[in-house]
Structure 1
Amino acid sequence: MTGFDATLAAIVQHYLDDVAGPREHLSLLRWQIDQGHRLDERTTFPGHLTTSAVILSPDHRQTLLIDHVTIGRWLQPGGHYEPADFFHVSARREAEEETGVQGLRLHPWHRDGDLPFVIDSHDVPGKPARHEPPHVHHDLQYLFIADPALPLIAQLEEVHAAQWQDVSRLGEFAPKVLERLKGVEAPG
C-alpha cells in the first residue's frame, strides 16, 4: 500500500468510526482501497477521489456556491483530487481557483485535522469526449469559513458564476452536509 493509499484508508476508517451515520458504509470506496485502485487518478473506474469545500459565512447563514459549467447546476466548489499534503488543502485549492475567494479558513469542527465533514460517494455522468464512462466520485467534503463581503472572481472555464446563497440550498445536492451542520456551532 502506498503512502497515499494508507493515508486515505486511515481517514476513511476514522470517518466511519467517529463521524458517519448508521447507514454510511462507503462499501465501494473501501473495496477500491482494498483492491489497490489508484483513487488519486481520474482515469480509475468505477470511481476515483474528489475533494470539495463547503464554504460558510461566519454565522453559517450563507454558503458559497458555483454554477458548474459541465453539470449545469449550483454546487459547492470542488474537483478531482490534486496531490497535496492534506486532503483539505486540495479542497481549498479547488475553491480558491473556481471562486477567487480569499482568506478561507478551515472550520473549527475539523480541529486543524484532515477528517472530512462528509464523505459522499455519488454517481456522475461520463464524458464521451474524454472516453469516460459513467462513474463514481468519492468526494471528501471539508468545511471552511470565509467573509461573504470579499469579492469573488469565477473561473469561467469551469463555472458560470460564484455566488453566496442561503445555506438551505445545500439540501438540494448535499443533504448530509446540511443535516450534519445542525449540530455544529458557528465559530464565536
Structure 2
Amino acid sequence: MTKPFAARLTEAVARYRAEIAGPRELLSLLRWQIDQGHALDSRDTFPGHVTTSAYVLSPDHSRILLIDHVVIGRWLQPGGHWEEAESFHASAAREALEETGVQGLRLHPWHEGSDRPFVIDSHDVPGKPSRGEPAHVHHDLQYLFLADPGAPLVAQIEEVHAAAWKPLAELADIAPLGLARICSLTPPGAL
C-alpha cells in the first residue's frame, strides 16, 4: 500500500536533507509548510506547493533534454505540478513523457531505485491573474533520468514551443545546482 502524500513528502525531504543537501539548502519554507500540514499536493495551496521535474540525460551525460516553455518563455527541464503517482520520480517521468514524447526513459542509477530527490529547488514563480493565482513558490523535486537522444521527440504544443536535446552546459543559467551535481557524477574527460 502506498503511503499518503504527506508522509512520502516528509520522508523524501528528510532523506534529501540528511544525505544530499548542502549546508545552505535549509528548505525552510517547505519544511514549515509540511509542519503546518499544508496540502502541498494541491496547486491551490499557497505560499507554495509541490512540483516535480526531470533532468533527462543522454547516457554519456553530454546532453540534456530541455523544453521551451510557453508560459515562462525560456528553456527548462520538463516538469509540472504534482499529479497523483506512485512516487515522486514517477510524476517527474510522466511530465517528461507528456511534454516531450521521450521514449525509453529510465531512472538514473544514482537514485538506486529509490524516491530520493537529486535536487529540491524551492523557487518563486509569477502568479496567473486569470486564474486568481498570486505569485508563489514551487517546491520542485527533481530527478535524474537517462534516455536515447536519437529517439524522436514530440513536443506537447499546449505547454511547450519545442523539445530538444541541448549540450549539458545549457543548464548553467537554468539550474546551476543541478548542473554541478550532474558534473560530479560524470567521470573527468567523459564530456
TM-score range relative to shorter protein: over 0.9
Tell me how far 1:17 sits from its aligned partner.
Answer: 0.3
**Matched AA of 1:160:** H
Residue in 2 that maps onto 1:16: 17
Counterparts of 1:3 and 1:157, CA distance in 2: 31
For residues 55-112 of structure 1, the C-alpha deviation after alignment (integer angstroms, 9 at most, x for no partner) is 0000000000000000000000000001111000000000000000000000000001
With normalisation by structure 2, the TM-score equals 0.95
Counterparts of 1:155 and 1:6, CA distance in 2: 32
What SS does structure 1 have at the residue aligned with 2:154?
coil
**Matched AA of 2:63:** Q
1:136 aligns with 2:137: yes
Residue in 1 that maps onto 2:69: 68
RMSD: 1.2
1:105-184 equivalent positions in 2, closer than 5 A: 105-184=106-185
Counterparts of 1:116 and 1:148, CA distance in 2: 23
Runs of 4+ in 1 over 6 A off after TM superposition: none
Counterparts of 1:32 and 1:173, CA distance in 2: 25
Counterparts of 1:60 and 1:144, CA distance in 2: 10
Residue in 1 that maps onto 2:27: 26
**Matched AA of 1:150:** A
**Matched AA of 1:25:** L
Tell me how far 1:171 sits from its aligned partner.
Answer: 1.1
**Matched AA of 2:124:** D
Counterparts of 2:183 and 2:93, CA distance in 1: 23
Structure 1 unmatched ranges of 5 or more: none
What SS does structure 2 have at the residue aligned with 1:157?
coil
Structure 2 unmatched ranges of 5 or more: none
What SS does structure 2 have at the residue aligned with 1:165?
strand
Counterparts of 1:15 and 1:61, CA distance in 2: 25
Counterparts of 1:28 and 1:61, CA distance in 2: 34
Residue in 1 that maps onto 2:37: 36
Residue in 1 that maps onto 2:55: 54
Residue in 2 that maps onto 1:90: 91
With normalisation by structure 1, the TM-score equals 0.97
Tell me how far 1:182 sits from its aligned partner.
Answer: 2.0
